[in-house]
Amino acid sequence: MRSASGHGTMTENDSVHAPETGDDIGGTLHDAVVAWLQHLGEDAGCSAHTLDAYGRDVRQFLGWLKRDLGRPAGVDDLASLDVRRFRAYLAARRRAKLGDRSLARSTSSLRTFFRWLEAQDILRNRALLQIARPKVPHGIPKPLTIEKATAVIEDAAGADTDWMAARDTAVLLLLYGSGLRISEALGVTLRDAPIPGRDVLRVIGKGSKERMVPVLPVTQKAVARYIELCPFPLAPDEPLFRAARGGPLDARTIQRAMEAMRHALGLPKTATPHALRHSFATHLLSAGADLRQIQELLGHASLSTTQLYTEVDRERLLAVYEQAHPRA
Q: Is 300 tagged catalytic?
A: yes
93, 167, 278, 300: which is the annotated catalytic residue?
Answer: 300
Q: Which of 30, 277, 278, 283 is catalytic?
A: 277
Rounded CA separation 109/105 (Å)? 6
E strand map for the chain: 13-14, 19-20, 200-204, 210-214
Nearest to 99 by CA among 49, 136, 142: 136
Given a contact cutoff of 8 angstroms between Cβ atoms, the answer to whether 217 and 267 are in contact is: no
Bridge-partner residues for 204, per DSSP? 210
Q: 99: buried, middle or exposed (CB in 10 Å: 19+, 13-18, 0-12)?
A: exposed
Q: Which of 17, 133, 262, 274 is catalytic?
A: 274
274 has catalytic annotation: yes
202 by DSSP, 3-state: which? strand
49 classed as catalytic: no
DSSP 42-92: HTS---HHHHHHHHHHHHHHHHHHHHHHTS-B-HHHHHT--HHHHHHHHHH
Catalytic residue among 206, 221, 262, 316: 206
Residue 175, class by beta-carbon neighbours within 10 Å (0-12 exposed, 13-18 middle, 19+ buried)? buried
By C-alpha distance, which of 15, 16, 32 is closest to 24?
A: 15
Active-site residue 101, yes or no? no
280-307 burial by CB neighbour count: b if 16+ within 10 A, else e? bbbbbbeeeeeeeebbebbbbeeeeebe
Catalytic residue among 54, 176, 226, 309: 309
277 annotated active-site: yes
Task: Decide if 181 is catalytic.
Answer: yes
Of 30, 105, 181, 283, catalytic: 181
Please state at what angle helix 48-69 crosses helix 83-95, rounded to 10 degrees.
Answer: 110
The catalytic residue positions are 181, 206, 274, 277, 300, 309
